[in-house]
Amino acid sequence: MKKYAIFLLAIVTWHSIYAQNEIKISELSIPTSPGFVLADKAPASIEKPTTPKAFGVSLLNLREGGAVEVTPYWLVNHPAYTFTDYFKKRKFPVLETFNISAATFKTDTTSSVSMGFRTQIVRLYSKAAREELEAKRLEIVGLLSVEDFTPEALEAIEKARKELSDLKSKITFNFEIAAAIIGSSKNNSFKNLQSDKSGVWANIRYRPKECPLDFTALARYSWTNNTNPKVGSDSAFFDYGLSLSFQKPKYDLALEFINRYDFSIKSNTNRLALVVNYMIYDNIVIVGSFGKNFDKVKNLLTVVGVKFGLSNDKAKIN
């Protein structure tokens, strides 16, 4: 029943996207719920920090589960929020990027739910990027100063606005933290829900100006909540790795490698995956990954999903 409710919510979101003319996508990628990432159910285990959407829906393999994400700051309009405000807060955008999520998914024997959050602690632009943004802002101010808004003038304003949005997305450095907790039940009852696993992690993204690749590093610590370390295994893990991604207007390709150290059995496993994001419409992204997961056996990882995002991050040009 849960998966049908989430799917219905996704359909409603899809219709909402086409009912509003002001919706715009700031970046191609829509991050996956931290709960999916912690459970190793997400297409990507390393999520590069991006500008979060006001509202998002993720469907995993179209049958295994789904997630809903909310960025509270952008659920309401901020009519006084200006371009200058954006850059005053650009270094430490904790409030504007604070995103919370809830997810549900199934395994062979249990149904699980998770809660999680992510937020960017640091966001930096290079000097050259800041100069480009200021030049584009001044260009738009000039275009808005005309007395007659002819069709040509409106077209020029829209073109400049899109270019400004694109420049805003080209952040040089991000430092993001995330956390999640997972609970499961064998009989789909909340009364029998038990906390299984928790985790905290950091994603650090660097985008060199003249390089076509993005670099995102991961450091994650996770632990199982109902395991006795003296008699059980899989009590705690430390993951670290790197993702290299190449982005074009319609797609994003990422290759990620992650090593996992299991403290309880003092053993290493790793994950190697190719992750593909493809934008079929504005704010609607199909994502898939192919490769090897963390298990000891050399299994083939195949995860396919679809993500919907609703944006509301508008700022006045002043």
Which residues face 251 on adjacent strands? Answer: 278
pLDDT mean over 137-142: 84
User: Residue 42 pLDDT more than 70?
Assistant: yes
Residue 309's pLDDT is 62
User: Nearest to residue 260, comparing CAs of 218, 289, 215?
Assistant: 218
d(CA 112, CA 103): 8
pLDDT mean over 14-38: 53
**pLDDT one-digit tens code per residue, 58-91:** 676 545 678 888 888 878 777 666 766 676 666 7
User: Residue 28 pLDDT more than 60?
Assistant: no
Amino acid at 296: K
Residue 278's pLDDT is 86
Least trusted range by pLDDT, from 212-221, 234-243, 275-284: 275-284
| Percentage of the chain exceeding pLDDT 90 | 25
Residue 21's pLDDT is 35
- CA-to-CA dists, residue 215 to 176, 243, 292, angstroms: 14, 6, 20
Give the predicted TM-score (pTM) of the model: 0.78
* 200 Cβ contact partners less than 8 Å away, ≥ 6 residues apart: 177, 178, 179, 220, 221, 222
User: Residue 277 pLDDT more than 60?
Assistant: yes
Residue 36's pLDDT is 87
User: Residue 9 pLDDT more than 50?
Assistant: no
Residue 122's pLDDT is 93
pLDDT mean over 104-132: 86
Task: Label residue 7 by pLDDT band (50, 70, 90).
Answer: very low
Task: Label residue 106 by pLDDT band (50, 70, 90).
Answer: confident
